[in-house]
Amino acid sequence: MVQTAAGVALAGVAAGRGSRALAQAATGVSPKPIPGGGFEYEGEVFHVYDYIPGNEPSTIGDFRGLVAINHLQGEGTVTRGGGGGGIGTPTATGDRLVYDADMRIMRGLYVGEDGREHEGTFGFI
């Protein structure tokens, strides 16, 4: 379970880096993060709260817009092979992996780190 949680956290870190880069590319200005809810990875702090009713769903501070959340949990079977654009048949190894995915999409107006209002769409996986 600890390995699964760490894997999900790292996936969120990777997604957080991607959404931040997209935000900068779209307007040149990063959004301000939500206060609190932070954890540090490789010297960078990421701001997100667990998906629990009553917690802040957005990862963007001073945000006005739509936030969609999807929280998936389950189990999958490890496969090897296949690939190549659909050529070949994947073979199940019999190994099972547990997953827990927190995905969020935000679209609306936000106050950027420059103190001005901007519009954008962001994703967190």
The pLDDT tens digits for 60-71 are 989 999 999 998
Question: Under a CB-based contact definition with an 8 Å cutoff, are residues 38 and 45 in contact?
Answer: yes
Instruction: Of 2-11, 73-82, 114-123, give the range with the top mean pLDDT.
Output: 114-123
91-to-4, 43, 85, 86 alpha-carbon distances in Å: 23, 39, 16, 13
Which range of residues forms the domain containing residue 34? Answer: 2-124
Model's pTM, two decimal places? 0.60
pLDDT at 10 over 90: no
pLDDT at 108 over 80: yes
pLDDT digits (tens, 9 = 90+) for 15-25: 445 445 444 44
DSSP 33: B
pLDDT at 54 over 90: no
DSSP 12-29: HHHHHHHHHHHHHHHHS-
| Nearest by Cα to 60 from 120, 15, 116 | 120
Residue 122 CA to residue 106 CA, distance in Å, equals 5
37-to-33, 47, 74 alpha-carbon distances in Å: 10, 5, 25
As for how many domains the chain has, the answer is 1
